[in-house]
Amino acid sequence: MAPLNEQLQAVRQQIDAADSELVQLLLRRRELVAQVGVIKRAAGQPLYVPEREQQMLQLRRQQAEQAGLSADLIEDVLRRVIRESYQQQQAADVHLQHKKIVVVGGEGALGGLFMRLFVSAGAAVYSLDRNDWDQAETLCADADLLLLAVPITLTVGIIEKLPALPKHCVIADLTSIKGQPLAAMLAKHSGPVVGLHPMFGPQQVTLAKQLVIVCHGRGREQYQWLLDSIVRWGAHIREISAAQHDQAMGFIQVLRHLSTFVYGAHLAEQQVDLAQLVSLSSPIYRLELMMVGRLFAQNPELYADIILSQPHTFTMMNDYLRSFETILSQLQAGNKAAFIAKFAEVKSYFGDFSQRFLEDSQRLLDTAGDAQQIN
Ligand code: NAD
């Protein structure tokens, strides 16, 4: 019998050979995905089809279980592979060859992302940024879409100073608030108008599985092509009125950003040793710390504007502060029963969501544990 280290060497070679087969298989899969892309483009089908993805994962999970492999392992691997496929397919989806699109603020973060998407879809795309206003009339004269991606506080003023647009031209905006920009666009242009709020940042590479909120303005049939493109890129669309949107964003964005901001500001004030906090954090705490830290890697103007742009949210923030104070004073008084009673009340409010959130977040945490991005 060969010495142990020779045996080890031999088995390692077989593992290398198996990994190499995996690479070849992934290459083969990529070629097949490219073929699917061609067929989908010809049929005008979206990049992301949730039912197909679900069914595919389910079948492979069953196969893995029957073979004695972990179903979760196969799902993890496949999800990562699928994400790569979406990037590949999106890059090749040319379907807007005949459109001329002007992005106001196209040199900015989100405007830049949409410029790249439209360019990759084959449209003729132009940026109208702060130094380009002398060309505004020429650029807008035969545009099919004018998309606003400028700072929140400037949006209404910029809409008002736009040159006249062709009647068929769609005017849309990406602003994080919807009420005022939508009203201004409707007042400015008598053609098709739609408000969009992409619920993601400029660092997004593909739109697959992302969300774009749509607030209808006027002439939907004339801007349906724009919504179809967003769906083709893999995003979901949720339709809601501008007023309901702004109300909900008070909770989804303003309160969250404010809490995150205050937590980060407090760490800074106390000069807490971040490296030590990170080294003592397991994936869940690291993830929570990351959610705070990532805010400060972004645009302060945008966050200030999101918080300041909707006066009704100040009432919300004050209510939140009062909740914090009430619970804090109960705890300071040693009132454990009040804390437990509140806990039960909130648990019942969350209902089934509580368990679902626990399970979903566990999957994320397992992935975060694999990645170990910060050491
Ligand atoms: P940004 O500051 O990166 O970009 C704004 C762009 O507008 C810049 O290129 C700037 O030069 C340009 N601009 C400023 N004044 C102008 C003028 N007078 N005329 C033409 N262009 C002008 O901002 P951003 O983060 O890309 O945000 C743009 C919009 O997108 C905002 O309304 C924001 O609410 C919305 N949004 C942003 C995000 C995000 O994560 N960044 C997410 C969703 C929605």
pLDDT digits (tens, 9 = 90+) for 311-323: 888 999 999 999 9
Token readout for 112 is 């830049």
Is any atom of ligand 1 closer than 6 Å to the C-beta of 89? no
The dotted CATH code for 245-370 is 1.10.3660.10
Q: What is the pLDDT at residue 310? A: 82
The dotted CATH code for 100-240 is 3.40.50.720
Q: In terms of pLDDT, which residue wins out, 122 or 368?
A: 122
Ligand 1 centroid–CA 108 distance in Å is: 5
Ligand 1 centroid–CA 175 distance in Å is: 8
Ligand 1 centroid–CA 110 distance in Å is: 6
Rounded CA separation 345/357 (Å)? 17
Is any atom of ligand 1 closer than 6 Å to the C-beta of 172? no
Q: CATH 3.40.50.720 in the chain, residues?
A: 100-240
Tens of pLDDT, residues 115-130: 999 998 999 999 999 9
Ligand 1 centroid–CA 249 distance in Å is: 18
Q: CATH 1.10.3660.10 in the chain, residues?
A: 245-370
CA dihedral 309, 310, 314, 320 (to 10 degrees): -110
Q: What is the pLDDT at residue 375? A: 46
Ligand 1 centroid–CA 131 distance in Å is: 14
Closest C-alpha to 178, from 160, 201, 194, 202: 194
Amino acid at residue number 245: H
Residue nearest to atom 37 of ligand 1 (CA): 110
Rounded CA separation 164/330 (Å)? 60
pTM of the model: 0.87
Q: For residue 276, what are the CA distances in angstroms to 12, 45, 272, 374?
A: 38, 49, 8, 12
Rounded CA separation 278/374 (Å)? 8
- State in words which class domain 4-89 has: mainly alpha
Tens of pLDDT, residues 332-365: 999 999 999 999 999 999 999 999 999 988 888 8
Rounded CA separation 30/88 (Å)? 8
Is any atom of ligand 1 closer than 6 Å to the C-beta of 175? yes
Is any atom of ligand 1 closer than 6 Å to the C-beta of 115? no
Q: CATH 1.20.59.10 in the chain, residues?
A: 4-89
